[in-house]
Structure 1
Amino acid sequence: MAMRMNDQDGFAMTVRTEVRPGDLGGIIALHGTVYAGGLGFDPGMEALVARPLAEFFLARSDRERVWIAERAGRLAGCIAIVRADEETAQLRWFVVHPDARGAGLGRTLLRDAIAFSRVAGYRRIVLWTVDSLHSAIRLYLAEGFRLAEQKPGPVWGVDVAEQRYDLDLV
């Protein structure tokens, strides 16, 4: 499955759900570079992404999916839905490269993930983020997520407040 759209500079962007060679490493690297550059996170962020991403890929369930966005042949963003339990999906690995922002890619990825979760039969979606990701949080709130938990403290080399957002689907 692939979807096409254009960014604000007219570059074609493609969103697909098929995982290809290099995608897993690219997703890990994208998280590392985006969050190190924007928030000062250390390589622990990449480790947090790497292990569960590998487990997700190796398990391959029809109730789980990853969306991979490409812009000009390069990884531009991603998002995934993974099973937390029978009734709960967890939204993971949501990131959009700064060069691909502003064209609605993040909103498109988020809405696709929510729609998929409904079709897959989940009753709710949970996600963890940090309070400094203001644009992402605005997207979550606009789609109906609500703040459910907050834990301040040092994570990945910086002080942040980790936040859990929940969305009821039924």
Structure 2
Amino acid sequence: MTTVSLADIQIRTTLQPGDLGYIAYIHGDLYAKECNYGINFEAYVLDGLKEFGQQYDAAKDKVWLCEHKGRIVGCLVAQHRAQQVQLRYFIFLPEYRGIGLGKYLMQEFVRFMHEKGISHAYLWTTDEQHTATALYTRYGFVLTEEKPSESFDKPLTERRYDLTLA
């Protein structure tokens, strides 16, 4: 088995036709397999991606599309929201986890905030995303809100995390 390293991944920061649909596909497919999320979760992702696509502004938003051998294997989106930014769609295919890609993209996200003069970011996740939550908190995100949800076709807790840069 060939081992993939961070050096094997190309990061594309331009949004192209087909990208949003593929991001939705990865989310729907992967979360169904790993977390037993249903079709309502995929619809939720599609609604958010529709909004992002319609409001996309390359001067205010940023995408990091991780590609390996010409195929998208993960991504992260920074979506502008007034005087803050929302971290969204942070996902990798399983075979690309554990190579430092998440850490690299979190550093890029924080660098983007500094470059744009944005001091506040937030994200939503669930109580099931332990690995992601550990990464977010290492970068200074703090849990600020919890709410019960059945939006993903099963009961769970949605969690909001906020980051304020000095």
What TM-score does the superposition give when structure 1 sets the normalisation length? 0.88
Q: Given the alignment of the two structures, is residue 98 of structure 1 paired with residue 94 of structure 2, yes or no? A: yes
Q: Distance in 2 between matches of 1:162 and 1:52?
A: 16
User: Alpha carbon RMSD of aligned pairs, Å?
Assistant: 1.7
* Aligned partner letter, 2:143: L
Structure 1 pair 144–16 and aligned structure 2 pair: CA distance change class (3 A): same
Select 2:122's aligned residue among 118, 121, 126. 126
2:103 to 97, 102, 107: 107
Partners of 1:150 and 1:162 within 8 A in 2: yes
Q: CA deviation at 1:40?
A: 0.5
Partner of 2:4: 9
Rounded Cα–Cα distance in structure 1 between residues aligned with 2:55 and 2:116 = 16
Of stretches 35-44 and 113-122 in structure 1, the one that deviates more from structure 2 is: 113-122
The amino acid of 2:4's aligned partner reads: D
Residues 1:117 and 2:113 are matched in the alignment = yes
Please tell me the residue identity of whatever aligns with 2:110.
Answer: I
TM-score, with structure 2 as normaliser: 0.90
Check the 8 A contact 1:8/1:103 in 2, yes or no.
no
**Residue type of the alignment partner of 1:74:** R
Q: Between 23-32 and 71-80, report the one with greater CA deviation.
A: 71-80
User: 1:51 maps to which residue?
Assistant: 47
CA deviations over 1:90-117 (Å, ceiling 9, x no partner): 1111111111111011111122112102
User: What aligned pairs does 1:131-142 form with structure 2 within 5 A after superposition?
Assistant: 131-142=127-138
Hey, what does 2:73 align to over in structure 1? Answer: 76
Contact 1:14 1:69 in 2 (8 A): yes
Residue 3 of structure 1 aligns with which residue? none
Query: What number of residue pairs does the alignment pair up?
Result: 163
Give the secondary-structure state (helix, strand or coil) at the position aligned to 2:98: coil
- Shift in Å at residue 60 of structure 1? 2.8
8 A Cα contact 1:126 1:166, kept in partner = yes
Distance 1:114 1:44 in 2: 31
Partners of 1:71 and 1:100 within 8 A in 2: no
Contact preservation (8 Å) 2:4, 2:96: no
Give me the whole-angstrom Cα distance separating, in 2, the residues matched to 1:55 and 1:127.
Answer: 16
Q: 1:75 corresponds to which letter in structure 2?
A: I
Give per-residue Cα distances to partners, 1:102-144, cap 9 Å, x unaligned: 1011111122112102211212001000011111001001111
* Distance in 1 between residues matched to 2:153 and 2:55, nearest whole Å: 31
Cα drift, residue 21 of structure 1? 2.9
How far does residue 82 in structure 1 lie from its aligned partner after superposition? 0.9
Per the TM alignment, residue 8 of structure 1 is displaced from its structure 2 partner at its CA by 4.4
1:35-50 map, 5 Å: 35-50=31-46
